[in-house]
Chains A and B, each alone.
Chain A
Amino acid sequence: MAVSNFLSKGSLLKQGAEARVYRDIFLGKSTIIKERFPKKYRHPLLDEKLTHRRTVQEVRSIQRCRKAGIPTPVVYFVDYTSHCIFLEDIADSVTVRDHIVSTQHQSHPSPTLEHLAPLAVKVGQILAQMHDEDVVHGDLTTSNMLLRRNGDVEDASELSLVLIDFGLSYISGLPEDKGVDLYVLEKAFLSTHPNTEALFQKLLESYTASSKKSSAVIKKLDEVRLRGRKRSMVG
């Protein structure tokens, strides 16, 4: 199967940190092709190891999530030699990042929290479900969550949210790993979306209410935050 044919025909959607993402038709379906091309800045042995590991992990975690009913794209096909994953195209979707940014612009000066609270609740629920399956995402940002445009965005139960980009994910039951997962999200969230502390709080409350194991995770989250604040930063 000449995967490279697909890549030369498909249209480049985005060049992320790890991969080029294309859109094409595969077996009659609109498909996202994620190609982890070699990164020339790093040593070839390290590059090969990381690329392979991440392709494998991404597929594995997506499948584990889907089995548990956590919305992620269907994997259509994987090519481990060219490190390409063929994924269901989440059609008519926007990243949560873009959605929050545009809502913040539109609703100005009326409070953003009101409009975005249902989304925060939804994100909290899905992450709780994911962590309860012992999937640690490893790269939680609002760029790695897609929101389908249909449905009422003011009602959490109507929102259709899809988690993507599991390249840095792994399986772990440790509260520490899940706490760090939330810590990474918190920092990415607050730096990307200034003045959304209350919104993120809402997300955490929803996580806490939805996860069976949340208390140990939130305790670790507090610990990791404190470590960050206590770090001396000499030099």
Chain B
Amino acid sequence: MTVVIGFEGSANKIGIGIIRDGEVLSNPRRTYITPPGQGFLPSETARHHRGVILTVLKEALEQAALTPADIDCVAYTKGPGMGAPLLTVALVARTVAQLWGRPLVGVNHCIGHVEMGRLITRAHNPTVLYVSGGNTQVIAYSERRYRIFGETIDIAVGNCLDRFARVIKISNDPSPGYNIEQMAKRGSQYVELPYTVKGMDVSFSGIQSYIEEAANKMLASAQCTAEDLCFSLQETLFSMLVEITERAMAHCGSQEVLIVGGVGCNLRLQEMMGVMCKERGAKLFATDERFCIDNGAMIAQAGWEMFRSGQVTELRDSWITQRYRTDEVEVTWRD
């Protein structure tokens, strides 16, 4: 049996999870929530993480009913993400690894999402849509790499949603995306927005600047409601995502889709993807917010795979990096 603890804190969530051979023993998490209209800044986010990380660590061990002696390996997020929060969390991971005398493994955050999704859904070899606040990628595995077939050429889809929420002052609690999803359910009028797909790539900056410019004017003149805008934004963004996923599937000859990342728990996105899959006889795999949204268990799971295939990170190499592409990692745990 191999028990791995994973530390995640690359953005505004801080999570610590423990995995024992595919079983999630614990996965507590805290979110740094900013007032409506405000995003989260690196230094303040790091301060938040510093304030709660030891409590979360205690919870993770208690809920798993384990002591440090039961842990075989300490995994932490090496990147990508915000520098200050990444550093804070890596520092604690390094400290406990030395205190407990256990090896470290530095994990690519995106690979954590993919491996967690594969574990929970048992998807075999899916085309992966990875959608979050900072990432939008269509990924498929081949020859020891998670290869990026499509991605955003400018901002991430979650970033587009979050920035829209700020413009019309939607609450960040529990997350702007969740609140947009709820409001969208009450929207009915479809407002036409720019739609930019380039092969398997997408661009959101056009839609972003258009809606930033138009939203408050349209609301002020009662052309549509905030709910209509949420609805139309979701319909447009998600259609683009489903389209590039389908294009990658057609190109690769794949019959499975896995959605991961924070935006992936949006039920409308899952529903649209499900319709697309049904139309081409493919199968959809998705998870809920416990595993979609950044969490510690996903880092533990990728760390578990890496550790079991013989990878460890020496203390002197246990740095962090703000930029770290999914396809940089050699996948030593799959054939």
Contacts and interface: CB of A to CB of B under 8 A. Distances in A.
A41 B81 contact: no
B236 A46 contact: yes
B147 A168 contact: no
A40 B246 CA distance: 13
B192 A45 contact: yes
Given A41-B273, A41-B276, A234 B81 contact: yes
Contacts of B279: 39-41
B50 interface: no
Determine chain B's interface SS by DSSP, over half rule: mixed
27 contacts: A14-B250, A17-B246, A18-B247, A40-B275, A41-B273, A43-B239, A168-B197, A180-B153, A181-B198, A183-B153, A185-B199, A187-B149, A187-B151, A187-B200, A191-B147, A192-B149, A194-B145, A227-B154, A232-B80, A232-B322, A233-B81, A233-B322, A234-B81, A234-B133, A234-B134, A235-B81, A235-B133
A42 B148 contact: no
Contact of A234 (B80, B147, B153): B80
Contacts of B121: none
B194 to A, nearest CB: 11
A141 B11 contact: no
Interface of B: 10-12, 80-82, 132-135, 140, 142-143, 145, 147-151, 153-154, 156, 158-159, 190, 192, 195, 197-201, 235-236, 239, 242-243, 246-247, 249-252, 262, 272-273, 275-276, 279-280, 294, 322-324, 327
Contacts of B243: 17-18
B39 to A, nearest CB: 10
B335 to A, nearest CB: 15
Interface of A: 14-18, 39-43, 45-46, 49-50, 97, 138-141, 143, 168, 180-181, 183-185, 187-188, 191-192, 194, 224, 227-235
A230 B323 CA distance: 8
